[in-house]
Structure 1
Amino acid sequence: MSELGCVPDALSYSVVLKVLCDDSRSQRALDLLQMMSKEGGGCAPNVVAYSTFIHGFCKEGKVSQACDLFDEMVQQGVKPNVVTYTSVIDALCKARAMDKAESFLRHMVNHGVRPNNVTYKYMIQGYSTLGWLKEAVKIFRETTSRGLILDDVTRNLFVASLCNHGRSKEAAEFAHQMIETGTTVSISTYSIILGELCRNNCTEEAIILFRKLGAVNVKFDITIFNTMIDAMYRVQRREEANILFAAISANGLVPNASTYRIMITSIVKEGSMEEADHMFSSMETSGYAPSSVLLNDIIRMLLEKGEIVKAGNYLSKVDGKCISLEASTGLLMMHLFSREGKYHEQIRSLPARYEFFGVSTVE
């Protein structure tokens, strides 16, 4: 262009600058930026040129150089915009320099530039990754108060961080707020919160949230049904658990292996073996082969109840399959059958290959 007597304008420089930055050729881009500064006038670097170059440095992990260029930009009287600030904040958060990221956020607000959902996203992800929950909660509240929408990855990371640090109830409070404000949230976010509430013995809170979600017609997946069925059984609300099990098909879903495992083991614990046998048959009819974990769980529970004959029925299901007894199951059998005279008759009802567990007492 120069050889033809055509002077490049700011747009020409910006286009080439972007290509160099996208191609991680930061030194060439820096040379070009200096050329723009020398040209002056209409070619002087503007906010777009500086922001492009700063983003390029950040993408290459050159955070210090990006910050230096930001300072130069301000000194030259070019006002950074939301894109400029967000690029630097993103790089600082990824470098786990949250104090500097927070300083940039304050600088941004103090100079009349409003953070957007992407800016807040990087701050929340940075705080959550480091477990700085007080700061993450503050930013999350500010984001929702402004009606900004965070992406699923950020929401999930935030609530998971709260749950992992024993603050599942607080995560549930945010879930209630999002429901009440009509914020669109993916089912995976709710699944994380419900799961953590149940694991932390906050079953009542989980049930309340679950019902509230149902009231606003949230479409549940099978994972949430499994979580809530298990929770219902844990607090002896069997009828409600059975209603949820029946609701699976009504919601266009089908029970999976985890569903059957939860149902069968919960029913066995309650001593309803006929119903457990029926559920076990339904599982096999549905195409789910019993796993080694499930069979061992059932056998151990029956042995602990002294139901040797019934345990023998499930021991027979192990035969002919690529399933083996777990060490804990074998040890339990040896412990029980070592009790002199107590299980002589029941031992004889076991499949022949397992009678050796009680051979010393039978003799």
Structure 2
Amino acid sequence: MRCCCRARRPGLGLAFFGRLLRTGLRTDGVDAYALIKCFCLAKRTDEAVSVLLHRLPELGRVPDALSYSVVLKVLCDDGRSQRALGLLQMMWKEGGGCAPNVVAYSTVIHGFCKEGKVSKACELFNEMVQQGVKPNVVTYTQVIDALCKARAMDKAESFLRHMVDNDVRPNNVTYKCIIQGYSSLGWWEEAVKIFRETTSRGLILDDVTRNSFVSSLCNHGRSKEAAEIAHQIIENGTTVSISTYGIILGELCRNDCTEEAIVLFHKLGAVDVKFDITIFNTMIDAMYRVRRREEANILFAAISANGLVPNASTYRIMITNLLKEGSMEEADHMFSSMETSGYAPSSVLLNDIIRMLLEKGEIVKAGNYLSKVDGKSISLEASTGLLMRHLFSTEGKYHEQIKSLPERYQYFGVRHS
């Protein structure tokens, strides 16, 4: 029957048991756990309970704690935690080898938590302690998670303290629950405090939780706190994914904390963190923003030195920033490098280039880029057309230079009423 369970063929196991009964052979050697497991896998939970409480004793088999635990789990998974509680209490009455252990209690507590019956879960937790069964990290974490979801953060913190006082060490899942609880309430100071405690204990949150948390901090105007978290991670020597640092650096730059981003970037480089192309792009753009062009160029050169290849975003950042600075020849060279590398210019980039050149009076160069607008993969944006109409109309600033444009755009030079 155990083989049938492992093969996910419970019906075959039950058929085997039925045949055994019909032959009149001795049944005192029947594997109680396997029999119960077969009923549960076959979604015949009520029959499993009946066999557990009545049929097994008739067959001369005494159910053990493991058999009870299987039924408890299935009942809780079916949303019948109250029924599971009744079975748990029967285990206590049976005593001996059937006395509920931490796994049995944790199963029912988790069931109540999933059903949103947090007070029931807490009551059962207290009963468990009174009966001398010591909760483990799973039990504590289940209750803490339910309390956090119910926004009862004071009680969740109380359980955390109780946990530590009883020498049960919280794990990363425990802290994750509390961090998410505080974050959902917007209690950022408390969330940051718990996050730092997690890091100081050498625990590593999963990437999704950590990245979501630092993004939330930044989105709520707390980019500097996110940066402080990054500094703490570095100082503790904790290894985290590069995506976490990428989020923090990106958010710092977006929230006008560019200098803080540069300090953090250099600190990460000093401990040999391997940057990806997204971080290089972010920091090149940041360097240009604070007029540190030489450092931006050094970073661009460092891309290939780090075994990476510039992508379309890299070229866009370099070209637009070079144009903003008036470095037309360098921008042209970068554009050629982009095409040589196999990156076709996007419609957005080409329109940006044309507008910047026109605004700077570089009509001939703008005309060269206009010739790349084919009306198919690349089209002229409305804002570009409006600018050309403004500059090249009979009253426009550059009306006399209209002949420098490709012929199909020279209609912008006619009078528009």
290-299 vs 10-19, which moves further: 10-19
1:140 corresponding residue in structure 2: 195
Specify every segment of 5 or more residues in structure 2 that has no aligned partner in the other structure, as ranges.
1-55
Q: Deviation of residue 106 (structure 1)? A: 3.6
1:105 corresponding residue in structure 2: 160
Residue 149 of structure 1 aligns to a residue whose secondary structure is coil
Write out the 4+ residue segments of structure 1 that deviate beyond 4 Å after TM superposition.
Answer: 22-25
2:119 is equivalent to residue 79 of structure 1: no
Contact 2:280 2:300 in 1 (8 A): yes
Q: Could you say which structure has the larger radius of gyration?
A: 2
What amino acid is aligned across from residue 154 of structure 1 in structure 2? T
350-359 vs 56-65, which moves further: 56-65
Q: TM-score, normalised by structure 1?
A: 0.91
What amino acid is aligned across from residue 107 of structure 2 in structure 1? T
> 5 Å matches for 1:11-26?
11-22=66-77, 26=81
1:307 corresponding residue in structure 2: 362
Q: 1:341 to 1:252 in 2, by over 3 A?
A: closer
Give me the whole-angstrom Cα distance separating, in 2, the residues matched to 1:321 and 1:271. Answer: 30
Q: Deviation of residue 80 (structure 1)? A: 2.5
1:283 corresponding residue in structure 2: 338
Residue 371 of structure 2 aligns to a residue whose secondary structure is helix
Contact 1:131 1:161 in 2 (8 A): no
Give me the whole-angstrom Cα distance separating, in 1, the residues matched to 2:394 and 2:128. Answer: 84
Contact 1:123 1:139 in 2 (8 A): yes
215-224 vs 63-72, which moves further: 63-72
Give me the whole-angstrom Cα distance separating, in 1, the residues matched to 2:394 and 2:137. Answer: 75
2:292 is equivalent to residue 232 of structure 1: no
Contact 1:67 1:88 in 2 (8 A): yes
1:208 corresponding residue in structure 2: 263
What amino acid is aligned across from residue 277 of structure 2 in structure 1? I
User: Which of 160, 171, 184 does residue 239 from structure 2 map onto?
Assistant: 184
User: Which of 210, 215, 221 does residue 166 from structure 1 map onto?
Assistant: 221
Give me the whole-angstrom Cα distance separating, in 2, the residues matched to 1:57 and 1:278. Answer: 66
What amino acid is aligned across from residue 284 of structure 1 in structure 2? E
2:373 is equivalent to residue 318 of structure 1: yes
> 5 Å matches for 1:203-282?
203-282=258-337
Give me the whole-angstrom Cα distance separating, in 1, the residues matched to 2:106 and 2:157. Answer: 19
Give me the whole-angstrom Cα distance separating, in 2, the residues matched to 1:50 and 1:17. Answer: 9
1:342 corresponding residue in structure 2: 397
Contact 1:128 1:157 in 2 (8 A): no
Contact 2:394 2:414 in 1 (8 A): no
Q: Deviation of residue 20 (structure 1)? A: 4.2
182-191 vs 121-130, which moves further: 121-130
The structure showing larger relative contact order (alpha-carbon pairs under 8 Å, at least 6 residues apart) is 1
**How big is the alpha-carbon RMSD for the aligned residues of Structure 1 and Structure 2?**
2.4
2:23 corresponding residue in structure 1: none
What amino acid is aligned across from residue 308 of structure 1 in structure 2? I
Q: Deviations over 1:120-153 (max 9, x none)?
A: 1211122234332111111112222222222222
43-52 vs 74-83, which moves further: 74-83
Give me the whole-angstrom Cα distance separating, in 2, the residues matched to 1:20 and 1:74. Answer: 23
Give me the whole-angstrom Cα distance separating, in 2, the residues matched to 1:295 and 1:358. Answer: 22
Q: Deviation of residue 31 (structure 1)? A: 4.1
Q: Deviations over 1:170-210 (max 9, x none)?
A: 21122112112211111001001111111122222212211
Q: Deviation of residue 359 (structure 1)? A: 0.9
User: Which of 154, 169, 172 does residue 117 from structure 1 map onto?
Assistant: 172
Q: Deviation of residue 260 (structure 1)? A: 0.7
Contact 2:390 2:396 in 1 (8 A): no
User: Which of 35, 41, 45 does residue 100 from structure 2 map onto?
Assistant: 45
Give me the whole-angstrom Cα distance separating, in 1, the residues matched to 2:115 and 2:189. Answer: 30
Q: Deviation of residue 27 (structure 1)? A: 5.1
331-340 vs 207-216, which moves further: 331-340
Give me the whole-angstrom Cα distance separating, in 2, the residues matched to 1:123 and 1:165. Answer: 19
Give me the whole-angstrom Cα distance separating, in 1, the residues matched to 2:78 and 2:111. Answer: 9
Q: Deviations over 1:198-228 (max 9, x none)?
A: 1122222212211111121111100000001
Q: Deviations over 1:152-174 (max 9, x none)?
A: 22221222122112221221122
Q: Deviation of residue 251 (structure 1)? A: 1.1
